[in-house]
Amino acid sequence: MSRFLSKSLAACVLLAGAQVLAAPPKAYRQEVVVAGSHFQGVHGLVVDGKGHLLASNLLGQTVHSVDLSTGAVSTLVGPPLGGADDVTLGPDGSVYWTGYFTGQLMRRTPDGKTRVIAKELPGLNSLAFRRDGRFYVTQVGRGDALWEVDPNGKKPPRKILSGPGFLNGFEFGPDDRLYGPLLMKGQIVRVDVDTGSIETVADGFGMPTAVNFDARRENLYVVDSVRGELVRVRLPSGAKEVVAKLPTGLDNLAVGPDDQVYVSNMVDNDIRVVNPADGSIRVLVESRLAVPSGLAVAPDDPDEQLYVADVYALRRVGGREGKIQQTTRVLSTRMTFPMNVSLSAKHVVLSSAYLGSLQVLDRASGEVLRTIPNTNGIQGALELADGSLLVAEAATGKLVRVSTAEPAVTTVLAEGLEGPMGLAADTEAQEPGVYVTEVRSGKVTRVRLSDGAKSTVAKGLKAPEGIARHPDGGLIVAEVGRKRLVRIEPATGRLTVLASNLRIGLPESAGLPPGYLPTGIAVGGSGTIYVTSDIESALYRFVPVP
């Protein structure tokens, strides 16, 4: 039995709840809906020459080692230091990785010592050594530059290029030129790092994200994330040939000494191996979810179909049987990295602190109807009856209302909240309002929609994140700081612990808004409580025991 299943088949958790509309259940049975994974969206890869593949795990803040023969995964560097977008090996066997959010370049020496060798470079992404030991990194998204860095961290970084066009996963060729993709231009380029000159090698890609040379250093393999293709580029002609068709969302690759190509997919959270000789594909590391975060269920859905904001995809999961029924993927669609999700009668509302946007989707078709930029660390978002959106800005401490007009108009409903995270509507009340979890203050606050007046429902919590209304009126909250699931009576503030020792709550990291990866909570009409696990990339349910 896997470690995920063994943890999930827990004994019943006793509770003594206060009566609201009806007496709450006295016990819950914890079960697995979707089993977990070691990764939270796998990214950069490098073969270590010792039978292992090193894999970077940005959101999980870890660097892993994968056994190439068995697929067994172990943790090389744990959170919070291991927040790696890409990873490589130095000439002396040191492991180097880039902290995209922290802006730090990290090194772990063969004796196990880890330290920062460069900092204040937000958006650090790709990295590679030249044959002479010189070391280069790029900024992508939160910057756009190519730097030379001292591998020992004794000299300050030196900028080589500004604004190349998001130069991503690259490698040096036998000519000591740097080969890599320009994400937004669909090109593979060759860079002379001594002169800064750039030449196009091949173009016409959807979104190339990384390149690697074959073992003989004659051909260049390219992963195209949007098209889901592994492409071989023949040099010097630049002629292209599709080697294998894969799911969209490809992020990086590494080529072994036997020319087997290892490909990471951040959307499917897996690693596949392609044999370029015949295009055959096998799975080395498999997952079902990537980074399950926000969670929603329609209260009138007897099947309790769950909408999971999986960061790299919006997935629908059967709450009763765990079947993933529908997936909308990032990059190959206009959806942008969902981290929170809520439902209205006709729409799905997504919010993403990752790329700073709100999105409204048609619930029936999945079509993106509106995209509204917001870079204030947005967390929970709800659609109100008039179509306006209510949004928690964790970075500003505000609860704002976004109009239906185009362009959208944002007004402040309430401020002074400390890391507002989860939202639960209370719109049927005589004075309609919304419940808000405050991850910094440890409160659950009710905000009146008519004038923004605030009242404290509960305090003394530690990092409350996800929140949902139970059918009987109680509030179910993920108290992440204490790794537990609690129930709060909104009229009295009385708290009851429903489950403890949950695998939730990755540590916070520099450069991220409060509660960056939310622990999602949803409650079905049956009273079953659903919870996402960021640590295990899993989905659990707590079923009331008669």
- What's the pLDDT score for residue 97? 96
- Rounded percentage of the chain residues whose pLDDT exceeds 90: 86
Higher pLDDT, 44 or 354: 44
79 DSSP assignment: T
Tokens matching residue 317: 């999961």
Q: What share of the chain is helix, strand, coil (3-state, %, to 5)?
A: 0, 45, 50
The yes-or-no answer to whether 15-36+289-544 and 45-285 have a common fold is yes
Work out the widest C-alpha separation in the chain, in whole angstroms.
75
Task: State the Cα–Cα distance between residues 158 and 148, nearest whole angstrom.
Answer: 5
pLDDT class of 15 with cuts at 50, 70, 90: very low
SS (H, E, C) 472-489: CCCEEEEEHHHCEEEEEC
Q: What is the mean pLDDT of residues 386-394?
A: 97
Higher pLDDT, 546 or 67: 67
Q: What is the mean pLDDT of residues 414-420?
A: 97
User: What is the residue type of 404?
Assistant: T
- Residue 90 makes CB contacts below 8 A (sequence gap 6+) with 96, 107, 129, 135, 151
pLDDT class of 325 with cuts at 50, 70, 90: confident
Domain ranges of the chain: 15-36+289-544, 45-285
15-36+289-544: CATH topology is Neuraminidase (2.120.10)
User: Considering the entire predicted model, what is its pTM?
Assistant: 0.91
- Rounded percentage of the chain residues whose pLDDT exceeds 70: 95
pLDDT class of 514 with cuts at 50, 70, 90: confident
pLDDT digits (tens, 9 = 90+) for 485-500: 999 999 999 999 999 9
* Averaged confidence pLDDT in the chain: 92
Instruction: Say whether the peptide bond before residue 80 is cis (omega within 30 degrees of 0).
Output: yes
Q: What is the mean pLDDT of residues 97-115?
A: 93
Q: Which residue is it, tokens 């195209």?
A: 224
- What's the pLDDT score for residue 20? 36
Asked whether residue 85 carries a pLDDT value surpassing 60, the answer given is yes
Note whether 168 and 140 are within 8 A (CB).
Answer: yes
**CATH match for 45-285 among 2.60.120.200, 1.20.1250.20, 2.120.10.30, 3.30.70.20:** 2.120.10.30
pLDDT digits (tens, 9 = 90+) for 264-291: 999 999 999 999 999 999 999 999 999 9
Note whether 374 and 393 are within 8 A (CB).
Answer: yes
